[in-house]
Amino acid sequence: MMYVRPKKSLGQHFLHDRQIAERITQSIDDNTKSLLEIGAGTGVLTEFLLEKNIDFKAVEIDRESIAFLRKTFPDIKNKLIEGDFLQLNVRTIFDKPFSVIGNLPYNISSQIFFKILDEKNYITEMVCMIQKEVAERIAEKPGSKTYGILSVLIQAFYDVEYLFTVHENAFTPPPKVKSAVIRLTRNATQHLDCDEILFKKTVKATFNQRRKTIKNSLKLITGDKIIPENRFLTLRPERLSVSDFVELTNLVEKL
């Protein structure tokens, strides 16, 4: 009998609770036609996804997992992509917009979300399990201390729902933290009403010095330029909504 050894270097914690796995796969929109699974692992989600009448693909980087998946799920043969999702050109996988699902490695979850944002015009939905603390941060609204960079950048283009919490004992080996499942659904915003590159720089600059006021943290971008008086300048970044950051970005661009 084949066995996949969880690898610390890949951040692997294999979900073994099938009820939770089924609940995750049922969280994808019923109208989904194309779906990509990130990190199929031992196939706990894959088993349910292969039963769906959809165009399904899975990407996996671990060779031991790949061998296990091929032996355990013969139907995955032409659906399995060997490689690193972060290096993958997702536009070559499907010829139309698609959804994403996965139990994400916690050590690279932020990198995965940034890639999702880069491909926001192709990825319409994402259901994923991540560290509970990160899930709460992404779903948080302005005014909270946990509201941060990912909150703003993701909420600019996706509606975020915190679906449910998952206990450590549902995994092998158990992680040291609780996990949570969230759903991102692409919103109607095609483009922000500002320079989107400068928007990202502005958000990062202010939250990287979140104890400072906006006026002081923006000096990393504005240098010695004097920022005109504005209602945001005396606030800290966690008080600003996505639309506030758009307005602030336009203010910075005019300097």
The DSSP result for 61-104, as a single string, is --HHHHHHHHHH-GGGTTTEEES-GGG--GGGT-SS-EEEEEE-
Name the architecture of domain 196-253: Orthogonal Bundle (1.10)
What mean pLDDT do residues 46-55 have?
Answer: 96
Our CA angle for 150, 57, 1, nearest 5°, is 105
Q: Tokens 């993958």 belong to which residue?
A: 88
Per-residue model confidence as pLDDT tens digits over 107-160: 999 999 999 999 999 999 999 999 999 999 999 999 999 999 999 999 999 999
Domain ranges across the chain:
8-186, 196-253
Looking at the whole model, is its pTM more than 0.75? yes
In the predicted structure, residue 31 carries a pLDDT above the cut 80: yes
CA 135, CA 160: separation in Å to the nearest integer?
9
Residue 225: φ, ψ to 5° = -65, 140
**Cα–Cα dist 12/159, whole Å:** 28
- Average pLDDT in the chain: 93
Q: Which CATH number fits domain 8-186: 3.40.50.150, 3.40.50.300, 3.40.50.720, 2.60.40.10?
A: 3.40.50.150
